[in-house]
Amino acid sequence: MTGEQTPGVAGPPHRVEAVAFDLLTGLLDSWTLWNHAAGSADAGRKWRTTYLALTYEQGVYVAYETMVARAARQAGISENAVDTLFATWDTVAPWPEAEAMLVRLAAERPLAIVTNCSTALAERAVARLGPVAIASLVTAEEVGVYKPDPRTYGRMLAEIGQAAHGTLFVAGSAYDVVGASQAGMPVYWHNRVGLVRAAGQSAPAGAFVIEQTTLSPLVPLVLGVR
């Protein structure tokens, strides 16, 4: 974590003018969805971490469904599990505190989402968050590259009309921590499931990165209220 700051729940150095989120881990408990499809928590985690590594290396967009199936093969997960994942996609649930947090923040700040899943699947997943105003939904499919390519974050910043230094990015994986901080955004890593960063997954020197296991501190951190 060389060059990063992990200052407890202290806020970033600049006023937070907007908040952007990873979708499938930052806001939604997609881990449970993958675990159910795979048949166990161990199998689901192996499949999901394999997928994260593959998309990090992929760069240019290849169909999300193809990447998920490729990760399953590499992790020794059955094709039936892949079918089950997409068949049960609309059951993915927000983290328990996510909906109330989003409603509170949306009343005072523009909110955005940047996700690696396909546009159709992203729209279905966003619907699971409830009636909250999202100013920008950017998918890897529409940009043509996977996160952490800076063009994904750049598209979102352009759509909401905000500077990187004033936009807090809520990351769901270590790859997002690196990508969002390299794009100039302060980062809140919602590391709910205890992922461990591999060697070389450090943010730039001076980057603001805070790591938490819950979304609960976000409202006071962003709005300065309790």
**CA distance linking residue 176 with residue 111, whole number of Å:** 17
Q: Are 115 and 159 in contact (CB under 8 A)?
A: no
pLDDT tens per residue, range 89-101: 999 999 999 999 9
Instruction: Give me the chain's average pLDDT, please.
Output: 92
pLDDT (mean) for 120-149: 96
**pLDDT for residue 198:** 66
pLDDT at 11 (0 to 100): 77
Residues 122-147, mean pLDDT to the nearest whole number: 96
Domain ranges in the chain are: 4-29+92-223, 30-90
Per-residue pLDDT at 8:
47
Whole-angstrom distance, CA of residue 7 vs CA of residue 188: 11
- Region 147-152: mean pLDDT is 94
CATH 3.40.50.300: does it fit domain 4-29+92-223? no
Residue 145, classed as helix, strand or coil, is strand
